[in-house]
Structure 1
Amino acid sequence: MSRSIPVGVGILVIVVVLAGISLPVAMAGAVGGSQQAPAGNEHASTAHAVEEYDSQDFDSTTFEITVHENGSATWTFRHEQRLEDDDDETNFEAFAEEFEAEETGLYERFTEQAEALTDTRAEATDREMEATAFNRSATTEYRPGAIGVIEMSFVWEGFAEHQEDRLVVGDVFQNLYLSDDQSLVIEPGGDLVFTAAEPAGEYAGTTMENASSMTWSGEREFVDGYPSAVLRDADDVGSGDTAGTTGWSTGNALFSWPVLVGATVVVLGAAIALVWYREQDGTSSAETAPTEASEPIGPQPASEDADSTDSEAETDAPSEALTEDELLTDEDRVIRLIRENGGRMKQVNIVEETGWSKSKVSMLLSEMEREGSISKLRVGRENIISLEGYEPEAAKSPFDE
């Protein structure tokens, strides 16, 4: 069997035709080719397992990038494969033992392509780069089913660009494509924090600034230089530095002014509407309330005007309730809708229930997530939107260096 790992056009087709080097499989290590089993039955099963996983079609691949304060980054390629039965587990255990003991074809291709990648991007960015500290592991995890996990990593020296008091990630990416079974994760190392990202990814945390990671999932294609992120030392981020709005030099500005202006208009509009409503309510009460001077003395006969007034008041009551409902903000409507559906909904169902466009719902939910009123969890190709206390059980955290 000889198959190459299907990673779309490749997570790192950032170097495609330079010095005769092509990375159509994203340095995921599968360029095809298999190993021949050595003679002797005692080694046949091990050789077969190595061959199988050297050319395996993995269920999912995650590219984890931990950015360090000196501008280097630890890159980890994490492949996961479901192990359906005992035979699968036995084969994977045989592969894991061989993979960690010797340099298999899968690992050799990974190291060669990592070195080629840093060399060509160093030339393109005019920055010194080097691939060092290679490592590998293969383990079985249970969630509760058995999952075979293969991880290969290296340290990319000179990965991020230094710009004054910040690190800028993005100029090494070229023609970046993620297939539907791939994800790219950037994590701040040490005391670094995110201050901007473009395009905005899904982050783990209540705000971008305290997020432990930023994730972009496929299927997705990026233009050269993206995705990009700005990271700074947490001690250097003052009160005037709002996460998500700090940009850098022209051509890579990450200010999201349309979002900020839109959010400001929504908030101001809601505040003005609320003040107007209260003023109208107060004026109406003042006009209809009798004063001491005008109150009649002694018993008075019932009049037709009084009956008419009571009738009008009863008629106006429902109208007042409708007006209050109409003054609900979009955020309030979404929260009420999720609460009515048990505290958790799919994003696509929110679009259907509200009748709003996909783009409006997406922008609104992103803003609500930044404010901490809801949380989003990517499950397959869908987003699960949850209120606090109703979040689904999270999967294992990304690779921890």
Structure 2
Amino acid sequence: MNRPVSVGLVVLVILASVAGISGSVASATAGPTDPSATEPALAERQVETTADAADSSPFVSQEAQNFDNRTFDITIYENGSATWTFRYERHFANEENETEAEANFETFIERFEANETGLYDQFINRSRLLTEAGSAETGREMEATDFRRSARIEEWPSKRGVIEMSFTWNGFAAVNDGTVVAGDVFQDLYLPPGQAIAYEAGGDLTFRSIEPNGEYAGNSLESANSVQWNGQQQFVDGRPRAVLERPDSAAAGSGSGDPITAMTGADIVWYLVAGLLVTGIGIAAVVWYRRYGPGADDPAGGAGAAERSSESTRPPAATHAGASTPDADATPDSDDAAPLTDDALMTDEDRVVKLIRENGGRMKQVNIVDETGWSKSKVSMLLSDMEDDGTISKLRVGRENIISLEGFEPEATKSPFDE
């Protein structure tokens, strides 16, 4: 009986499918046959063959020579979905002929963007195989959507060719009462040297724990935006694992938040009952007073009370001509109301443009989050829309996004065809 294809082994196949694409354009289409999602036995045999032959296959060894770094970036969101980005870097300075290597990569970019290499179709097929393997392992419903690709040459900090292919993995992480747990889809995951896998906290999520220990920037895990594990490393089943949660969920769970949030259902019911009792007693007291209180037997009592009430609400007479009543004096003049500021009339896009311009035309995305006070997810979506509109440009440098206005872009964001 065939066992389910593990996510760890399918990852090896996706790695192998990118083998040799920057060594020469011709080798970009020399990948293994696409495994069909409807043929799990065939897919399993192909994956196992790739894993067993990792040391001897010239195909895999060619990949190791052509790419200096390979990273899996996994951004995890509150609903359990995740954006998987496969990033491959080739440093031209490591080549015997740097100019020729760069020219070959530029040729590959044209074919890759036109989908003439078939590499992108292989990536889509194997990404779907990943989600099927994860669903079989965890029992959760999963789906691969929102496929994207890009290929470019980056100038900073060193000149290199970069390939990125990404997709959204719906149902990647388990969600329970605001806590998001990632990692249960992995089985037999192995990272060779020169490869890394990284978890990034998306939206308002923060890291609570990780297994095994990984690398992160900052004084504490809770303040880190991402955690990375580097190869060479063999993971046990269900690892690497990360537990994430919203800051407000952590406060409620620790009991340090608003005491109202810690009330049980029974507590709330008793508070409601007590409130109704107090209201009922107050109404009964008013009715009793009107029926049996002082003046209840006086036929004119009602009229007198009405007259006194009318007098109490009547405004006092003016003491001299031109005097105004207190109510009139208390009414604010609409002309004296504070005018709206320019910032209040600005759109979110205008605020970001103004902020970047005030900082010299270029800022890190994380600094925009800090300056505006908006959430990371809001800033990310807003910047993506602005990039689509051509308002700004993005440059990814390591784990950072550099946001630039037109005319302030680093050399890395310029197309090789601008010349």
TM-score normalised according to structure 2 size: 0.48
Q: 1:103 to 1:209 in 2, by over 3 A?
A: farther
Residue type of the alignment partner of 2:121: E
Residue type of the alignment partner of 2:78: E
Match of 2:246 among 209, 233, 245: 233
Q: Please identify runs of 4+ aligned residues in structure 1 that moved more than 4 A.
A: 19-22, 31-34, 49-56, 239-242
Query: Which range is displaced more, 228-237 or 74-83?
Result: 228-237
Residue type of the alignment partner of 2:73: E
Structure 2 counterpart of 1:66:
75
Cα-to-partner distance string for 1:13-59 (whole Å, 9 max, x where unaligned): xxx9537996372422528799xxxxxxxxxx995475599974311
Shift of 1:104: 2.5
Residue type of the alignment partner of 1:175: D
Provide the rounded CA distance (Å) in 2 between the counterparts of 1:52 and 1:61. 19
Shift of 1:119: 1.1
Asked whether the 8 Å contact 2:69–2:195 carries over to 1, the reply is: yes
- Asked whether 1:77 is paired with 2:63, we answer no
Instruction: Please identify the structure whose Cα radius of gyration is greater.
Output: 2
Q: 1:147 to 1:119 in 2, by over 3 A?
A: same
% identical equivalent positions: 44
Provide the rounded CA distance (Å) in 2 between the counterparts of 1:19 and 1:125. 13
Q: 1:47 to 1:60 in 2, by over 3 A?
A: closer
Cα-to-partner distance string for 1:143-192 (whole Å, 9 max, x where unaligned): 34321110110100000001222000111011111111111100000000
- Asked whether 1:30 is paired with 2:31, we answer no
Provide the rounded CA distance (Å) in 2 between the counterparts of 1:215 and 1:20. 21
In the TM superposition, what are the counterparts of 1:131-142 in structure 2 within 5 Å?
Answer: 131-142=144-155
Helix, strand or coil for the counterpart of 1:225?
Answer: coil
- Asked whether 1:18 is paired with 2:4, we answer yes
Asked whether the 8 Å contact 1:29–1:109 carries over to 2, the reply is: no
Match of 1:115 among 101, 118, 128: 128
Cα-to-partner distance string for 1:168-224 (whole Å, 9 max, x where unaligned): 011101111111111110000000000111112111222111101001111111110
In the TM superposition, what are the counterparts of 1:142-291 in structure 2 within 5 Å?
Answer: 142-238=155-251
Q: 1:400 to 1:241 in 2, by over 3 A?
A: farther
Structure 2 counterpart of 1:130:
143
Provide the rounded CA distance (Å) in 1 between the counterparts of 2:153 and 2:112. 13
Residue type of the alignment partner of 1:69: E
Helix, strand or coil for the counterpart of 2:120?
Answer: helix
Query: Which range is displaced more, 94-103 or 111-120?
Result: 94-103
Helix, strand or coil for the counterpart of 2:210?
Answer: strand
Asked whether the 8 Å contact 1:49–1:95 carries over to 2, the reply is: no
TM-score normalised according to structure 1 size: 0.50
Shift of 1:109: 1.8
Query: Cα RMSD (Å) of the superposition?
Result: 3.3
Q: 1:47 to 1:81 in 2, by over 3 A?
A: closer
Shift of 1:103: 5.4
Structure 2 unaligned regions, length at least 5: 32-58, 256-395, 403-419
Helix, strand or coil for the counterpart of 1:216?
Answer: strand
Asked whether the 8 Å contact 2:80–2:173 carries over to 1, the reply is: yes
Provide the rounded CA distance (Å) in 2 between the counterparts of 1:241 and 1:134. 39
Helix, strand or coil for the counterpart of 1:145?
Answer: coil
Residue type of the alignment partner of 1:154: F
Shift of 1:236: 2.0
Q: 1:207 to 1:46 in 2, by over 3 A?
A: closer
Helix, strand or coil for the counterpart of 1:203?
Answer: coil
Asked whether the 8 Å contact 2:6–2:134 carries over to 1, the reply is: no
- Count of residues paired in the alignment: 224
Q: 1:124 to 1:145 in 2, by over 3 A?
A: closer
Shift of 1:101: 2.0
Helix, strand or coil for the counterpart of 2:188?
Answer: coil
Asked whether the 8 Å contact 1:186–1:213 carries over to 2, the reply is: yes
Asked whether the 8 Å contact 1:129–1:158 carries over to 2, the reply is: yes
Q: 1:400 to 1:188 in 2, by over 3 A?
A: farther
Q: 1:31 to 1:214 in 2, by over 3 A?
A: closer
- Asked whether 1:396 is paired with 2:397, we answer yes
Residue type of the alignment partner of 1:28: L
